[in-house]
A and B are shown apart, each in its own frame.
Chain A
Amino acid sequence: MADEVVLLDFWPSPFGMRLRIALAEKGIEYVYKDEDVRNKSPLLLQMNPVHKKIPVLIHNGKPVCESLIALQYIDEVWNDKAPLLPPDSYLRAQARFWADFVDKKIYEFGRKIWTTKGEEQDAAKKEFLDCMGVLEGELGDKPFFGGETLGFVDVALIPFYSWFLLYEKFGNFSVEALHPKFIAWVKRCMEKESVSKSLPEQEKVYDFVMFMRKKLGME
């Protein structure tokens, strides 16, 4: 029986992008369904009744929710090509630790940069840039967090690059000026077709958020 893979997603979601990259890396054919997150489909509500969020990976009718969990699932099931987690259990623990760090820090601080003002925004900016530094330290001299090839942490982190124009405009900073090593890593990732085809243009994300802000009366 052929595998049936469906991805419930929302095009600007960095969490959805993670799964797009992984599926592309592994050469897995799937059906992409873009959700209107302000008008959720019955399918989404059925597949993720607890959180009602995207992304949801549906494999032969069975849903896997939460992007890092779905990444591990993809890695375990389609284990013949492009491994995301290394074989060594200590290195696997390190990869899980840093992917969790990305989840705890990057999304939250990035979001605060464009949704808050004044002191709160300054604090978020500082924390965000500190995280860039910490991640650069963890990367070290390796081309990717996964070593010679894209790994679990690379896939977890790179999608946020599509939101950098938004963060930089609202926060009035340049990640490249302050953390060139981080951007060098970004560029190496973007050379991979699985990544470049999975991330929307930064301008598209920026325009979308500006449009939503006006609509929600945030201007």
Chain B
Amino acid sequence: MEEVKLLGFWPSPFVYRVIWALKLKGVKYEYIEQDIFNKSELLLQCNPVYKKVPVLLHRGKPISESVVILEYIEETWPENHLLPEDAYERALARFWIQFHTCQIPSFHAFFGLTAGEDQQKTIESVLETLKILEEQGLGDKKFFGGDSINLVDITHGWLALWFGAVEEMVGVKLLEPSTLPRLHAWVQNFKQVPVIRDNLPDYQKLVAHMKRVREMLVPQV
């Protein structure tokens, strides 16, 4: 019997990447909510290196790091391909998946955004990386995967809800039809995909959670 478990934390966009991939593949799994502020023995045992979610357990064996998990899911359940079959196209897809890691520093800065001279610099930095993603990653396609979503869309899926929550929290809107028309359109299309639409955290709860986290991390706010 296939035994699949997912250790997750409800506000985490990284966890949702895995949820979306499992659902798109029609894989049944047991979801086990973790308290990341009071980590369970199970989590510490399954991910001793980073002690983070998501962790996928398949037949009792743990896999950590969301991008590694996504590749594992793609290889283990090959129905409904979420990566191109051509090796070169696959390398390109992996490049745009990897692109999310270089966005992290500027997004962290945006999350902790306060008034002051750094604000404009941070905003410009975030806009710059989103423009690259839009122009060179997405281009004229409906989705990064073409006519349907793939692992690249899933990896950037946090832009569809979590980024909006950060924008609301810091009071600065960046992802607009006027600034990033194609990426904005992608967000609307992405949220309408049934598996995505039916698997998103509660927006208000998410904003409240982010505000709490920000208060913990950014004392001067």
Interface of A toward B, CB cutoff 8 Å: 49-51, 59, 62, 64-66, 69-70, 72-73, 76-77, 89-90, 92-94, 96-97, 100-101, 134
11 contacts between A and B (CB under 8 A): A50-B99, A59-B88, A70-B91, A73-B87, A76-B87, A92-B72, A93-B69, A96-B65, A96-B68, A96-B71, A97-B64
Looking at chain B's contact residues, is the secondary structure mostly helix, strand, loop, or mixed?
Answer: helix
- B residues 45-100 touching A (CB-CB < 8 Å): 49, 58, 61, 63-65, 67-69, 71-72, 75-76, 87-88, 90-91, 94-95, 98-99
A59, A93, A134 — which one has the most chain B CB atoms within 10 A of its CB?
A93
The complex places the Cα of A94 from the Cα of B132 at a distance, in Å, of 31
Interface contact B58-A90, CB-CB below 8 Å: yes
The complex places the Cα of A100 from the Cα of B63 at a distance, in Å, of 13
Interface string of B131-142 (1 = CB under 8 A from A): 010001000000
- The residue of chain B having its C-beta at the shortest distance from the C-beta of A69 within the complex is B94
Question: Which of the residues A62, A73, A100 comes within 8 Å of B68, measured between beta carbons?
Answer: A100
- Contact status of A69 and B87, CB under 8 A, knowing A93-B68, A96-B68, A100-B68: no
The complex places the Cα of A97 from the Cα of B71 at a distance, in Å, of 11
Interface contact B65-A97, CB-CB below 8 Å: yes
Question: Which of the residues A64, A76, A93 comes within 8 Å of B63, measured between beta carbons?
Answer: A93
Interface contact A64-B75, CB-CB below 8 Å: no
The complex places the Cα of A7 from the Cα of B24 at a distance, in Å, of 37
Question: Which of the residues B72, B91, B94, B132 comes within 8 Å of A50, measured between beta carbons?
Answer: B132
Residues of B within 8 A of A97 (CB): 63-65, 68
Looking at chain A's contact residues, is the secondary structure mostly helix, strand, loop, or mixed?
Answer: helix
Closest Cβ of chain B to A42, distance in Å, is 18
The complex places the Cα of A101 from the Cα of B50 at a distance, in Å, of 10
Residues of A within 8 A of B102 (CB): 51
- B residues 108-133 touching A (CB-CB < 8 Å): 132
Interface contact A73-B88, CB-CB below 8 Å: yes
Interface contact A64-B88, CB-CB below 8 Å: yes
Interface contact A72-B76, CB-CB below 8 Å: no
State the interface size on chain B (CB cutoff 8 A): 24
The complex places the Cα of A146 from the Cα of B33 at a distance, in Å, of 34
The complex places the Cα of A77 from the Cα of B64 at a distance, in Å, of 27
- The residue of chain B having its C-beta at the shortest distance from the C-beta of A64 within the complex is B91
The complex places the Cα of A119 from the Cα of B12 at a distance, in Å, of 33
Interface contact B72-A93, CB-CB below 8 Å: yes
- The residue of chain B having its C-beta at the shortest distance from the C-beta of A49 within the complex is B136
The complex places the Cα of A59 from the Cα of B91 at a distance, in Å, of 12
The complex places the Cα of A76 from the Cα of B75 at a distance, in Å, of 14
- Contact status of A89 and B76, CB under 8 A, knowing A69-B95, A97-B65: yes
Residues of B within 8 A of A101 (CB): 49
Residues of A within 8 A of B49 (CB): 101, 134
The complex places the Cα of A49 from the Cα of B136 at a distance, in Å, of 9
The complex places the Cα of A66 from the Cα of B90 at a distance, in Å, of 13
- The residue of chain A having its C-beta at the shortest distance from the C-beta of B92 within the complex is A64
Question: Which of the residues A62, A66, A89 comes within 8 Å of B75, measured between beta carbons?
Answer: A89
- The residue of chain A having its C-beta at the shortest distance from the C-beta of B136 within the complex is A50
Residues of B within 8 A of A72 (CB): 91, 94
Residues of A within 8 A of B76 (CB): 89
Closest Cβ of chain B to A22, distance in Å, is 14
- Contact status of A76 and B90, CB under 8 A, knowing A93-B68, A97-B68: yes
Interface contact A90-B61, CB-CB below 8 Å: yes
The complex places the Cα of A134 from the Cα of B16 at a distance, in Å, of 29
The complex places the Cα of A211 from the Cα of B67 at a distance, in Å, of 39
The complex places the Cα of A216 from the Cα of B188 at a distance, in Å, of 48
Closest Cβ of chain A to B127, distance in Å, is 15
- Contact status of A62 and B88, CB under 8 A, knowing A97-B63, A100-B65: yes
Closest Cβ of chain A to B173, distance in Å, is 25
